Structures are given as structure tokens and as C-alpha cells.
């Protein structure tokens, strides 16, 4: 949270932090680029606008806001792996694997939301996409926790 505050051009602003440590903007850009890439695989044209916006030509757009980044679930995963047993190298591998998996389901969510709003599709069961993301993200995390624990079976402590 400190980095987020220092990267915003108000209050305790730091241009160094904004230009070199602003991981949230990097994540927002990667989410829009990932969604744009997936849609291009299906020949669906989109374009990026300033402000972390991905838009259909002549259509509606999604804005990648702070709530869309997913840093809460990323942080949970990192904390779980860091607090558990294992060698540092193994932990780093699990952290990277987990972060990529969580990032991928977030890209899929953003992709589906953009398609849904342009096709007029309702959200399943009337549940908003942030809640759906959290449901799928924590199901994935529980599965990865099971895999992480399973990776230590048979090893002596």
C-alpha cells in the first residue's frame, strides 16, 4: 500500500517510486494487454485507451480500476507460501506459479466482462464480476494450497 500511495501524484508523491516501483500500473497494463491478446485470438478487435481502458471499436469499454488488479489475492498467496515450510527456491517457484495462475484467471475475467457488456449478456446469477473473480481465485488458491502441501508428502522435515 505504501508504494501505491507514493506513486500517486498527490500527498507524499515520489517520482522515483512512480517511474520504477509502481507495480499496480504495470499489473493494470498487463491485464489490458492480456485481454487484448486473448480477444485477438478470436479475431475480436479492441484498442487500449489512456487510463487503463480496453474498448471495442464503436463499443463499450472496461476500465481496470484498483479493485480489478487482484493484489489482495496475490498478497494472500504470497503470504501463504512465505509462511509455510520449504526451501527458498521452492517457495519462489510456487509464488511465481501461483501469481501467474491468478493473473491468468483475472485476464480471462476481464476478457469475458468486455465481451459480455458488448453483447448485452447478464452476469450469471446476478452476481457481479468482482465477486465471481474472488470465488474462482480463492477456489484456485485452495487447490494450489492442496498441491503445495502434497508436494511435501514423503519429505522428511
pLDDT in tens, 126-143: 888 888 888 999 999 999
**Which runs of E-coded beta strand occur in 41-125?**
47-49, 53-55, 61-63
Q: Which residue has the higher pLDDT, 36 or 14?
A: 36
Residues 17-53 pLDDT 10s: 556 567 778 899 999 999 999 999 999 999 999 989 8
d(CA 79, CA 87): 15
d(CA 43, CA 23): 30
Maximum alpha-carbon separation in the chain:
60
User: Do residues 71 and 24 make contact, with C-beta atoms less than 8 angstroms apart?
Assistant: yes
Mean pLDDT to the nearest integer, 98-115: 94
d(CA 97, CA 93): 6
Residue 15 — pLDDT band, cuts 50, 70, 90?
Answer: low
Letter string b/e over residues 129-141, b meaning 16 or more CB atoms within 10 A of that residue's CB: beebbeebbeebb
Look at residues 60, 58, 54 and name the one whose alpha carbon lies nearest to residue 39: 54
Amino acid at each position: 500500500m505504501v508504494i501505491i500511495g507514493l506513486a500517486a501524484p498527490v500527498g507524499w508523491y515520489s517520482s522515483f517510486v512512480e517511474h520504477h516501483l509502481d507495480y499496480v500500473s504495470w499489473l493494470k497494463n498487463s491485464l489490458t494487454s492480456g485481454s487484448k491478446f486473448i480477444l485477438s485470438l478470436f479475431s475480436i478487435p479492441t484498442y487500449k485507451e489512456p487510463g487503463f481502458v480496453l474498448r471495442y471499436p464503436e463499443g463499450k469499454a472496461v476500465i481496470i480500476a484498483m479493485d480489478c488488479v487482484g493484489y489482495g489475492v496475490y498478497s494472500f498467496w504470497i503470504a501463504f507460501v512465505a509462511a509455510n515450510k520449504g526451501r527458498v527456491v521452492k517457495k519462489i517457484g510456487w509464488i511465481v506459479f501461483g501469481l501467474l495462475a491468478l493473473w491468468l484467471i483475472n485476464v480471462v475475467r476481464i476478457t469475458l466482462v468486455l465481451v459480455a457488456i458488448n453483447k448485452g449478456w447478464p452476469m450469471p446469477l446476478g452476481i457481479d464480476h468482482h465477486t465471481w473473480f474472488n470465488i474462482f481465485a480463492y477456489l484456485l488458491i485452495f487447490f494450489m494450497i492442496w498441491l503445495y502441501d502434497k508436494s511435501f508428502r514423503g519429505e522428511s522435515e
